[in-house]
Amino acid sequence: MVKFTVQLLHLSSLLLLAYYCAPTRAANGCVELDRLNFDRIVQRFRYTLVKFDVAFPFGAQHEAFTGFAQEAAESIGDLLFALVGIKDYGDKENSDLGKRFKIPEKYPVIKLFNNQSLESYIDYPEDNPVTIADLRKFVRENTDLYIGLAGCVMEADELAARFADPANSKPHLESLIDETQTLHDSIQSETDRISLQIYLTLMKKMASSSNKPIHEFITAEKQRVQGLLKGKISDKKKADLYLRLNIMESFKPLSNTDNVRKNDEL
Ligand SMILES: *[C@@H]1O[C@H](CO)[C@@H](O)[C@H](O)[C@H]1NC(C)=O
């Protein structure tokens, strides 16, 4: 019995050690929630994306979640990223939260909370892959937040979305180019101005090849850029091309959710 207790003590100190040392436990850009702080913290933010998972998560899905959190941390103020680590053994840490939100013992489970009502959350579809792109899409579709990609500029994304409307006439395209140019000229940040230059270049190319629908132009241009990325190019050039790919994502006509997004005051 004594020996058993000693072993248990040993085990728990090891776990304690793991708790403090495990690099995945405290992930950058995410907060950890438990029974005591869950409601208080989730209520403070308009939206919280919560991943219920094992106590020490690791692997591609965890990395996608924390990767998205880091990418969005600076740009999306009203969205909090949180982790709930559930132990189905030992001290059963957070299993009470697991019960409250009916989490099956099959992890991870991701839910989007809003601070109007903590019981009316939206489930991340179980069969959806957990990648940064899919998580981003899920948040885009289920909130009115502006979810930009790295290198994108919110006002320019709105112009790009309007530009991509297939009903635009040629003069309308030209006037949108003028608006984008004005935005470019008024912008203070050097990095934003570099991005704006890419929006402009793309818009001008699209306006001058007007017999090609914009979505076709974007598909072809993406393929071309992805081809260039496979070649031997400098890191600087590579970064430019990734920026270009992100910006091309913004050339999509507004959907209904995006209309809400457009009117958001963020
Ligand atoms: C929800 O979050 C927003 C933005 O952070 C805040 O202004 C508002 O007071 C919160 N609502 C509630 C009910 O706490």
211 domain residue, yes or no: yes
| Nearest atom within ligand 1 for CA of residue 116 | 13
CATH of the domain at 57: 3.40.30.10
Determine which of 19-28, 145-154, 164-173 has the lowest per-residue pLDDT on average.
19-28
Average pLDDT on 95-114 reads: 94
Pocket lining: 45 vs ligand 1, CB cutoff 6 Å: yes
CATH of the domain at 187: 1.20.1150.12
Which of 114, 142, 170 is the C-terminal boundary of a domain? 142
Distance 114 CA to ligand 1 centre (A): 9
User: d(Cα 120, Cα 125) in Å, to the nearest integer?
Assistant: 15
Task: Name the most confidently modeled range: 60-64, 90-94, 146-150.
Answer: 60-64
23 domain residue, yes or no: no
Q: How confident is the model at residue 255 (pLDDT cuts 50, 70, 90)?
A: low
User: d(Cα 259, Cα 192) in Å, to the nearest integer?
Assistant: 23
The domain in which residue 56 lies consists of 31-142
Q: Tell me: pLDDT of 18 over 90.
A: no
Q: Tell me: pLDDT of 188 over 80.
A: yes
Q: Is 38 within 8 Å of 71 (Cβ atoms)?
A: no
Amino acid at 66: T
- pLDDT of the residue at 264: 45
Q: Is the pTM of this model over 0.75?
A: no
Looking at the structure, tell me whether residues 135 and 180 fall in a common domain: no
147 domain residue, yes or no: no
The CA angle 229-196-81, to the nearest 5 degrees, is 75
Measuring from atom 2 of ligand 1, which residue has the nearest CA?
46
Tokens found for residue 190: 């050097």
261 domain residue, yes or no: no
Q: Report pLDDT digits (tens) over 158-177.
A: 999 999 999 999 999 999 99
Q: Tell me: pLDDT of 226 over 70.
A: yes
- pLDDT of the residue at 1: 45
Mutate to test the pocket of ligand 1, among 44, 113, 265 (most ligand atoms within 8 A of CB): 44
